[in-house]
Amino acid sequence: MANLPELTPGRMLGTWQADPFGIAAVVVLGGLYAWGVVGLARRGERWPVARTLAFAVLGLGTTAVATMSALAVYDRVLFWPAAVQNILLDLIAPLGLALGDPLALARRALPARAGERLERALRGRLVRTLTFPLLSTVLVLASELSIYFTPYFETALRHGAVHQVMYLQLVLTGCLFVLPMLSHEEMLPSWCGYPVRALFVFVDGLVDAVPGIVVMTSSTLIAGGWYRAHTPGWGPGADRDQQIGGGLMLTIAELVGLPFLIAVFVEWVRAEKGATAALDRRLDEELAAAPAPRPAAAADDAGAAAPEPGMMRPWWETDQGAIGERFRRGQG
């Protein structure tokens, strides 16, 4: 560790090491996701390629970069690679995993009974409490601050097993907020529609900037005993190193906020299109089932009574169903 060469752009791209957490995440999560996609394909159902790419590239790819690239190699001698590593696991990897919508995939790919159990678990009190937007935002913030401003982080630098636990904590707490926002599974309260979700994402983006600001401006050196003893001669001083790390945390947190907000708006548009298509199908079915009106001339020739005035009005004015009501509101 003390003999690590200077971190250059070339070494930043070409230096890698194996990591148990990174390998397990890619193999286990990637394998389960692939099993779900293949299972649907065998039943003749398609799963969006874009979601698969988001899960594999942005989700698992970011996890691999954070845990096995030069960021992981140099995180014990410089603070800023560790800071970038942690923010990737806390914000970007969960976003990629959520865009893949693994929960919806699992429910569809599992046998019917297992899918129902999964659905009940996702709607259970514990999951709904932990994923409630305001609480999950607080949990993400508390997770980050507890890492940097308690002995936790320095302990993780000294002990590999604790470091693995920290990786897992970062990914899980990040998923608590992101997964419910982008999943097609109903994990949020009924009042938390897409406009409310967009508001929560905006607020969460502001809160995500707090750890970077605190780290960058703190007069307390994070894991100071460790980094003072291990900072290489070619690196910045420990104080400057922490300022760089905090600045990078702030930058990445702000950059990821906009794509997250865009993703919520895209899901919002898709949901509106789906609702409109469902309404059109229902309208077509009701029109097809309605009896055809008799021509007025034929009715007079047969000596029938003239049509009631209401029958000459547009159909949506006399229809008593939900579709007629919606059309009347639109006309008003």
> pLDDT for 31-60, tens place per residue?
999 999 999 999 999 999 999 999 999 999
Report d(CA 102, CA 315) in Å as an integer: 44
Closest listed residue to residue 184, CA positions, set 72, 245, 108 = 108
Tokens 């400057």 belong to which residue? 240
Q: What is the mean pLDDT of residues 178-193?
A: 84
pLDDT band at 184 (very low <50, low <70, confident <90, very high): confident
Cβ-contact 80, 245 below 8 angstroms: yes
Q: Among 119-123, 142-146, 270-274, which stretch is predicted with the lowest mean pLDDT?
A: 270-274
Buried b (16+ CB within 10 A) or exposed e, 4-21: beebeeeeeeebeeebeb
Angle in degrees, 0-180, between the axes of helices 112-122 and 102-109, rounded to the nearest 10: 150
Task: Output the pLDDT for position 102.
Answer: 94
For residues 163 and 271, which has the higher predicted lDDT (pLDDT)?
163
Can you give the pTM of this predicted structure?
A: 0.79
Q: What is the mean pLDDT of residues 240-259?
A: 91
pLDDT tens-digit map of 193-235: 888 888 888 888 889 899 999 999 988 899 988 998 888 888 8
Residue 305 zone, left/alpha/beta (φ > 0; ψ -120 to 50; rest): beta
pLDDT tens-digit map of 291-332: 655 555 555 555 555 555 444 566 556 666 666 666 666 655
Task: Output the pLDDT for position 310.
Answer: 45
Closest listed residue to residue 166, CA positions, set 15, 17, 19, 21 = 21
Closest listed residue to residue 54, CA positions, set 259, 248, 207 = 259
